[in-house]
Structure 1
Amino acid sequence: MFRERMVPGEPEIFVAWQEGTTDRTLLAIHGGPDWDHSYLRDPLERLDCRLLMPDLRGCGRSGRVPEEEYHPDGMMRDLVRVLDEFGVERADVLGHSYGGMVAQRFAITHPSRVRSLIVSGSSVLPVPPDAFAGWTERDEILARQENPWQREDLTPEECVRAEAFAAVAANVRRAEAVPGYLRRLEEVRFSAQYLRPYLAGTLVTPRLPDAAQRIAKLGLPVLLLHGRQDMTFPVSLVEPTLELIPRARAVVLEAGHMLHVDDPDGYLAAVREFLAA
């Protein structure tokens, strides 16, 4: 069962957490970034390790900061504070989507705090402009997707929320999983704190240059956990990443961008096997 804690500091960071039966701690970092952690709870809540799930600064129930402070360096400081608050010297770190890039940056900048790295539904390498060329099904799905940014009656926060619902067909490939995913989205606390600097062209990406080479030098165990039908981060980047990071392994599921929703059992099995190695 999850408990909740506010980690003091500037800003306060909200963390949902639960104890485990092992001495390992998994720090799970959500995507968006203007989402909260809650869409990742299932199936990770079924793991045996301690689980820490913070809302990034400006997201969910965490504190807001001035626009120029939505910077990856601030996120790194926040994650250190979270580990310190819970007395965790080294954690296994999982990041999904945008959170996958945040997790990579944390491993590179704070290697002494990271035991292993799971990059879920994200990529280590930059996504090239032609990454999805020739994928007709993706083109058709995106063409049908409603664009809430064309509506003048919605606030920025409402646009972020509407976009998440509009993208369901692109993100979840298994029809039976859609109703449960819609219920998850209803519970997400959406914000628009990162949207504003993004639209202004001032938002700094968490992706570091030559991240693959820098991660390889760390010698960390790395799991690339990916959906074969991911329409945000192409599965084609998995193999080149494995060639650059000798200690990386990959598990590719028959799933979309929300692979933990499409195949929760396969996702959980992959995470468990990796953490047990």
Structure 2
Amino acid sequence: MARAGRPRFDGGVRDESFEIDGVRQVFHVAGRGPYCVAHSGGPGLDWAYLRSPELEEHFTMVYPEPVGTGESGRLPGGGYRLATYARFLGAVVDHLDAGPVYVLGHSYGGFVAQTYALQHLDRVAGLILYSTSPYGGAEFWADGMAALEAYPQRHPDVPEAAAVPGLFRAALATVADGDDALSRAFAAAVPLYFADFWARRDEFAAFQAGLRMYAEPAGAADPVPFDVRDRLAELTAPTVVIAGRHDFLAGPSWARRLADGIPGARSVTLERSGHFGHLEQPGAFAEAAAQITRGRPVARVSRT
């Protein structure tokens, strides 16, 4: 398998691919500095939403297209499981042939990052756990659904906000209808994921229109919920935990559980963000993530 050399920063994106057991793995490289492999969420969400030009000023960012999405291959017979994503993430890290790398996991990608780190801590220079949790079971989803139902109360002056809980439930029910239908349904519900989408809707319109989800991995489910709460002490790599104050799904309470359980972990709360802090507060997000390479203290709350 060919090895990737250290890329030259030219402001653009380099696309690469290789095969894992006959399945194509595509990834994209942009930026400068140490390698940081960023695993996107979903599962089934296209990688491009997670691209951060601000992070690319600090890291050579590597963005895999998770198996089952985009130009990466499809798994024969399904098999989209957390362990599979962690294996493919590990193959990308090995393909880079660069020694330990930083690993960023967003949302479900944070589950993947934690799973991989627990298996291969020697390959991880540091962890950036972003809008995620150490647990994905019933309590996690109950908290999220309670916040979903309360969403219209956060925006009482916005008529469209009242429809958002129904749009989110409709998106969950659209998985069987294929990629295009799921993408449209998720885009309609995406205001839920922002601190205040309505005040910035023009700014985020292109992001909303460009969202792409893939039904096959989105509809898969692990038989056992993700839960590493009793193993967090094993994650001894430098770690920063980043959460948006207004994240309905994986907000500060779940971030605290991560940071409290991981030795020496530092925590940042983005006060004006929801689930997508890299879009809502890109400068503060990138600064929080980049401090992991500099050994400087990270403030527990960021307001910039």
- TM-score bracket, normalised by the shorter chain, equals 0.7 to 0.9
- Structure number with the bigger relative contact order (C-alpha 8 A, sep ≥ 6) is 1
Aligned to 1:103: 113
Aligned pair count reads 268
AA matched with 1:31: G
Aligned to 2:189: 167
Aligned to 2:133: 123
Contact 1:34–1:192, Cα closer than 8 Å, also in 2:
yes
**Residue 186 of structure 1: CA displacement?**
3.2
Contact 1:96–1:122, Cα closer than 8 Å, also in 2:
yes
What is the distance in 2 between the residues matched to 1:81 and 1:135? 36
TM-score, scaled to structure 1 = 0.85
Task: Report the CA distance shift for 1:151/1:121 in structure 2 as closer, same or farther (over 3 A).
Answer: closer
Question: Could you tell me which of 138, 160, 178 is aligned with 1:156?
Answer: 178
Question: Could you tell me which of 144, 167, 170 is aligned with 2:163?
Answer: 144
Cα displacement string for residues 107-145 of structure 1 (whole angstroms, at most 9, x for unaligned residues): 111111111111101112446255365887426577512
TM-score, scaled to structure 2 = 0.78
Contact 1:89–1:113, Cα closer than 8 Å, also in 2:
yes
What is the distance in 2 between the residues matched to 1:58 and 1:42? 22
What is the distance in 1 between the residues matched to 2:72 and 2:263? 36
What is the distance in 2 between the residues matched to 1:134 and 1:187? 26
The answer for unaligned runs of 5 or more in structure 1 is none
**Matched residue of 1:167: which SS?**
helix
Matched ranges for 1:1-277 at <5 A: 1-9=12-20, 10-20=22-32, 22=33, 24-126=34-136, 128=139, 130-131=142-143, 133=146, 137-138=150-151, 140=153, 144-145=163-164, 146=167, 147-148=170-171, 155-174=177-196, 175=198, 177-198=200-221, 203-204=222-223, 207=226, 209=227, 211-254=228-271, 255-277=273-295
Contact 2:136–2:225, Cα closer than 8 Å, also in 1:
no
The answer for unaligned runs of 5 or more in structure 2 is 1-11, 156-160, 296-304
What is the distance in 2 between the residues matched to 1:84 and 1:206? 27
Deviates more, 1:211-220 or 1:104-113: 211-220
Deviates more, 1:68-77 or 1:94-103: 68-77
What is the distance in 1 between the residues matched to 2:237 and 2:135? 17
Contact 1:35–1:191, Cα closer than 8 Å, also in 2:
yes
**Residue 13 of structure 1: CA displacement?**
0.8
Q: CA RMSD in A?
A: 2.7
AA matched with 1:94: L
**Matched residue of 1:69: which SS?**
coil
